[in-house]
Structure 1
Amino acid sequence: MPQLSNRVNTFTDSVIRRMTRISDKHGAINLSQGFPDFPPPKAMTDALSKIALEGPHQYSVTFGAPNLREAIAKKQSKAFNRDIDFEKEVLVTCGGTEAMMCAMMTVCNPGDKVIVFSPFYENYGADAILSGAEPIYVPLIPPNFNFDVNVLEDAFKQNPKALILCNPSNPTGKVFTKEEFMIIAELSVKYDTFVITDEVYEHLIYEPYKHTYFASLPGMYERTISTSSLSKTYSITGWRLGYLVAPEEIAECAKKVHDFLTVGAPSPLQEAAVVGLNFDESYYQELKKTYTKKRDYFLKGLDEIGLKHTTPQGTYFVLVDISEFLELEQFKGMNDLEFSEWMTINIGVAPVPGSSFFREDVNNLIRLHFARSKETLDECLKRLSTLKYLLNK
């Protein structure tokens, strides 16, 4: 038999999705893969019910239904403080995952380098490899997950084609400051580098932090490919709707990649999504209040249990330090993946091992999320509370 592609041996399957399968198998509460257990806005599901009967049910325009692209352009024009042409600068994709892949394949040639901040959402490394590119990892330094400017410039000196910028950051919950963005902007111009943003958590920002769209900075729209998703903002992760916004010459190339990668996103779901994109500002304010309440409630519960954790500035992810547990005789020799599997089976709560996000040798963290109803969070905290008895033995 001929050999398979070398690239498939350079990365594993998704650890996040693997933990979901383990969670499902053992009936645990899934705090690993980030999706809500509550419904999308009723206006969107009502629209989808009507569309299920009336259509459309056939292919939409490959690059996205015109009314959806127009709604995205209207929303992002306000965010970017510029007029975005929905016909020329917007592409609808099958989730933010495909939007990122389209961006990477549009700008990268085999052998190109791409800067990735570590820790990072696990897809980025695989996306670079599948694009034929080589990732250059730049560490974000805990506890605030800031970057060292000199280390970042050393990465730029390697002549990368692009930098991937996840803001707010998964898994850290970090919200990059405008000052940090200005440093990245200056370096991207100095070394003539694209910036590919992942902004799927753009509306999940907690006070006093503010979200800055990198493409809105002076002179940056021309070299920025902005990707995002409707999944988190409207609680529709299963609808698989994402989008890419970029200058015309970049977007036109991304459209070609998308056309032969997935052809198009589901047309009934696109029609229903237009309803959400036309919500007024009050929807996003209420979303922020909802998740702020969930964050504060969940973190208070972790504090009461005695679990050490980060405080996210954005997203719905929390990193929990499991160092004390790994020092116990019961867990001696375990790594974070093995502890995560043990916790899923024995505690009934499924995390993600932190090592799946870090290029550095990090073995003492797990990631949990709080995109769950209060009833589910109560049960999670009840189950997690059994962990403290291990420390008090």
Structure 2
Amino acid sequence: MPSYPRPLTSRLPQVGTTIFSVMSALAAEHGALNLSQGFPDFDAPAELLALLDQYARGGHNQYAPMTGVPVLREAIAAKVSALYGASYDVDAEITVTAGATQAIFTAVAALVHPGDEVIVFTPVYDSYAPSVELQGGKVVYAHLTLPDYRPDWDEVARLITPRTRLIILNSPHNPTGTVWTAEDMARLEALVKNTDIVLLSDEVYEHMVFDGARHESVLRYPGLAERAFVVSSFGKTYHITGWKVAYCLAPRELMAEFRKAHQFIVFTVHAPSQYALADFMKRPGWYEQLKALYQGKRDIFRQALAGSRFELMPCQGTYFQCVKYGAISDEGDRAFVERLTREHGVAAIPVSAFYPDGEDHGVIRFCFAKSAATLAQALERLIKL
């Protein structure tokens, strides 16, 4: 094939293949247990799969409404009302999206103009900064401070300028497993009060908060919710990451702008999945079961590694566990996880990949959303190091 006739100027010159794809490919190449990419290796509930089949065979195979099928938006509204006491208009303030990453990108595309500043917290999930940069915005990095990866609100206050358009927050936090507190939300609310700053809250791990703690959703705080896009994911909640179905909530003025972009980015989302999810959301007790499932897996993982040379870091939520490996190796984290995959058959993610400058604190991330058999094999290998 002939080459393109003139050199391309990349709009994302620093971006290559994501670390998740790299490590999953390396795991496949070496037959390693994949504790790198954040997806379960067990199936979705059988009842949900049966509902998907029912609706696909029942004729729900054409375009869904751009905003999402009404019964699913109604179920979402009922959920956030029951869990957080938040009231959202089904027609004007809820949109179903093709995954959480699309929702995040769409919110940024709808809001950020060239030259606008967007504050994100490092270590940062890898889609945030490229979404901002593609709109011509400037990413401003606040730091979650080790060892607990807590937000430094004095630093955030210093970073806010008249150009600050958006603050992106993520709790429970990927990759660190940190969960923000009510005090964090109060500090954030005080910072944005009397400003035009909009919030984008990534809450895809909302149902994975451990040890009796409460998920401090933006939806619990009217002073935050009134200026926020809030994103959650069915993929994380129902073990169906491959379905790529999520949703965004926002006040009607913000949602109107979101939908202007949404209709041209993806337009609509797989219809049978939406009907199946709307039905399955009526099942009582699922969120409590999910929390118990992942707390159990976290506890097993931590108890096994407590006797190893890995140093456990706090894990308050998500299905990720970060560890330090300094007692095992003085390698950089990228070199260590590659060797761990090749020589010991367990794949992980280097946390330096979540820093814009590759800042390396000797921390790696494991995903424990795996079957009991997978976790047992992986732990057997890890505790021998």
TM-score, normalization by structure 1: 0.93
Greater Cα shift, 71-80 or 221-230: 71-80
Greater Cα shift, 218-227 or 98-107: 218-227
Q: Which residue identity is paired with 1:245?
A: L
Partner of 1:31: 35
CA pair 218-69 structure 1, distance change in 2 beyond 3 A: closer
1:134 Cα deviation after fit: 1.2
Deviations 1:75-120 (A, max 9, x none): 1223342321111001111000101011111110111110001111
Q: Which residue identity is paired with 2:133?
A: I
Contact 1:347 1:386 in 2 (8 A): no
1:48 Cα deviation after fit: 1.3
SS of the aligned residue for 1:38 comes to coil
Matched, 1:283 2:286: yes
Residue from 178, 183, 187 that aligns with 2:182: 178
Counterparts of 1:1-393 in structure 2, within 5 Å, are 1-157=5-161, 159-280=163-284, 282-327=285-330, 334-359=331-356, 361-387=359-385
SS of the aligned residue for 1:57 comes to coil
Runs of 4+ aligned residues of structure 1 deviating over 4 Å after TM superposition are none
Contact 1:91 1:245 in 2 (8 A): yes
TM-score, normalization by structure 2: 0.95
Q: Which residue identity is paired with 1:209?
A: A
Deviations 1:307-342 (A, max 9, x none): 112131000111111223333xxxxxx432222111
Separation in 2, partners of 1:208, 1:269: 32
Contact 2:310 2:327 in 1 (8 A): no
1:52 Cα deviation after fit: 3.1
Deviations 1:201-232 (A, max 9, x none): 00000023211111321322220110111111
Deviations 1:50-94 (A, max 9, x none): 223223111111221111111111112233423211110011110
Separation in 1, partners of 2:93, 2:283: 22
Contact 1:322 1:364 in 2 (8 A): yes
SS of the aligned residue for 1:233 comes to helix
Contact 2:340 2:346 in 1 (8 A): yes
Q: Which residue identity is paired with 2:161?
A: K
Greater Cα shift, 7-16 or 251-260: 7-16
CA pair 114-261 structure 1, distance change in 2 beyond 3 A: same
Instruction: List gaps (5 residues or longer) in structure 2.
Output: none
Contact 2:63 2:270 in 1 (8 A): yes
Q: Which residue identity is paired with 2:354?
A: F
Greater Cα shift, 342-351 or 187-196: 187-196
Greater Cα shift, 270-279 or 234-243: 270-279
SS of the aligned residue for 1:179 comes to helix
Q: Which has the higher helix share?
A: 1
Separation in 2, partners of 1:33, 1:276: 26
1:276 Cα deviation after fit: 2.8
CA RMSD of aligned residues (A): 1.5
Separation in 1, partners of 2:279, 2:33: 31
Q: Which residue identity is paired with 2:211?
A: E
Q: When the two structures are aligned, how many residues end up with a matched partner?
A: 380
Contact 2:119 2:168 in 1 (8 A): yes
What is the percentage of aligned positions where both structures have the same residue? Answer: 35
Separation in 2, partners of 1:258, 1:232: 22
Q: Which residue identity is paired with 1:354?
A: V
Contact 1:79 1:213 in 2 (8 A): no
Greater Cα shift, 267-276 or 348-357: 267-276
Separation in 2, partners of 1:3, 1:150: 44
Separation in 2, partners of 1:190, 1:92: 30
Contact 2:310 2:328 in 1 (8 A): no
